[in-house]
Amino acid sequence: MKKVVYEKNNNQIASRSKIFMAAALDFCIHMVLLMLLFGIASVPILNNSSLYANFNVCRDEFFNHIKETKLYTFDENGEPINSNYGALSYTITLIKTSYYYEGEEYSELVDGKETIIEVNEDDLLEYEVNGELVNDNLGYYFIHFRESTNSDLPNEVKTNYGDYSNKYNYFYSGALELNLPSNKVYFNSEIYSDSNGNINELVKGKPLLNFTTAEILHDYICLNKDSEEGQKAFDIILKMYNGAINFAFMELDTYSPIYKSYITNLDDQQNHILNMQFLSLFLTYVVSFGIYFVLIPVFLKEGRTLGFKACRLTYSTINDDYPKARNIIVKDILLFITDMIVIILPILFMGNMQILFSNLFLGVKPVYLIIFLTLLSLISISMACFNKKHQFLGEYVALLVSKDIDSLVVNEENIVIDETK
């Protein structure tokens, strides 16, 4: 059987602009196919409740433990509230406490109108009343919980206050850092002790704002008035509050066996979910790549993709021969690697960037894989920009060049005949 294979010595390589146009078209079509398959197959799998069953159990156990410490505030659905909200609530309680002890009327905006609100002892900053938490979550942890039987901190830790003489100083100076000059500006100078260093029973468990600061914060937070001084004062309290929260969790993470076991189990389950999500994305990529860059080119012949067909391009070897299967396979393997960067698109679509920082099965984080693939893709694109034959990395290694079909001129003298039967 005789078949015209290729016109010999026709070295008309396709223009760089046409090659890039075909590559861009292929990338976009493949991206659409990937997202389509991801939506059809991966999303239902990733939303399967059974995938999250063990994680939810570990999460509930962890939250129940944290609820005992009072370090986080939870909403009615049992979800932790942002610590900034906790700091805001804490600041309002500080304001109410200062107004109460100063005997001043406290007001808030009600339906846009300033309204006097009665403040009673239940509204004041207290870490404990008869063993029950009232308003000061931070004080509860540092002054009550860490020494209680509910805490699994070692006994030598429970009564260890580091460089501080007692648990109040440990809380105020160590965690809240009220002894810093920048913080003393906003709080009473005699917050927790008298001139002899003895604890002031009146304010025990109550770091008190000086009233000038309370007024500034009251206008800024409670009456919603613009105030640079109010913003600055609240930022200081926010920093103090979050610093104390971190201080407490650092202590638990260092010394509490139960806390560490909950964190380890939760991290393991979360990492399992992230691994499953990444594996789902990878398998979706494999299928989409197989459809677009393997099955379709087989159907179109000569390894041509839809982008190549639309731009009227075809492949030949660097010797102007018809591409053999091994040439196409080598090109596709390298294209499979360099094009894997499109996996980032479904990750962005899900808005779950944690996937990039999970530990894969071999301990490799996806973010490192994405960085490597990005560099490889840039190398491939650079090669096509500066290589005389306009070859991407896969084409260069596979010894293939892109030819412009419209430029091929039939010349009887240069036709090679394949007489293979």
The three-state (H, E, C) secondary structure of 214-243, written as one string = HHHHHHHHHCCCCCHHHHHHHHHHHHHHHH
Query: Alpha-carbon distance 308 to 303, whole Å?
Result: 9
In the chain, which stretches have pLDDT less than 50? 1-9, 189, 191-195, 197, 199-203, 205, 410-418, 420-421
Could you tell me which residues come within 8 angstroms of residue 24 by beta carbon, excluding any fewer than 6 positions away? 307
* φ/ψ of residue 390, rounded to 5: 60, 40
Residues in the chain: 421
Could you tell me which residues come within 8 angstroms of residue 233 by beta carbon, excluding any fewer than 6 positions away? 186, 213, 216, 217, 220
Q: What SS3 class is residue 103?
A: coil
Q: Shortest CA distance to 171 belongs to which of 192, 194, 148?
A: 192
pLDDT of residue 281: 81
Q: Shortest CA distance to 269 belongs to which of 54, 61, 62?
A: 54
pLDDT of residue 9: 45
pLDDT of residue 100: 86
Query: Alpha-carbon distance 376 to 380, whole Å?
Result: 6
Is residue 236 within 8 Å of residue 213, measured between CB atoms? Answer: no
pLDDT of residue 200: 47
Residue 342 amino acid letter: V
Q: What is the pLDDT of residues 138-176, one digit of tens each?
A: 888 888 888 888 889 998 888 888 888 888 788 888 888
* Long-range pairs, 279-283, Cβ under 8 A, ≥24: 280/42, 280/45, 280/46, 281/38, 281/42, 281/343, 281/346, 281/347, 281/355, 282/343, 283/42
Query: Alpha-carbon distance 86 to 84, whole Å?
Result: 5
Domain boundaries along the sequence of the chain: 3-53+267-418, 67-257
Q: Give CA angle at 329 (328, 332), nearest 5°.
A: 85
pLDDT of residue 360: 65
84 sits in which H/E element: helix 83-102
pLDDT of residue 50: 74
Q: Structure tokens of 189?
A: 């100078």
Q: What is the pLDDT of residues 272-298, one digit of tens each?
A: 887 787 788 888 889 999 999 989 888
Residue 119 amino acid letter: V
Residue 362 amino acid letter: L
